[in-house]
Amino acid sequence: GLEALMSRRPVRVELYEDTAHEWRWRAVAANGKTVADSAEGYVEKRDALGEAWALFGETVTYSTQALEP
């Protein structure tokens, strides 16, 4: 039902630097699961953020994560 659907709605976007030193984003739902991610890496953090902002705008919170292993 609606409750299950809302638990999968993105509530935050995490920006992170991958092992190739490119910036990526992932959208995380209230249940902690990743529901979307960037299809490519970006040299500049602002470019990854720009793509995520174009998709989600002010509907989510944004955070920067540590380097992915």
pLDDT on residue 9: 73
Residue 36: what residue type?
A: A
pLDDT: which is higher, 2 or 47? 47
Give the H or E element holding residue 53: helix 45-56
- Predicted TM-score (pTM) above 0.95: no
pLDDT on residue 3: 60
Contact 30, 6 (CB under 8 A): yes
Contact 17, 23 (CB under 8 A): yes
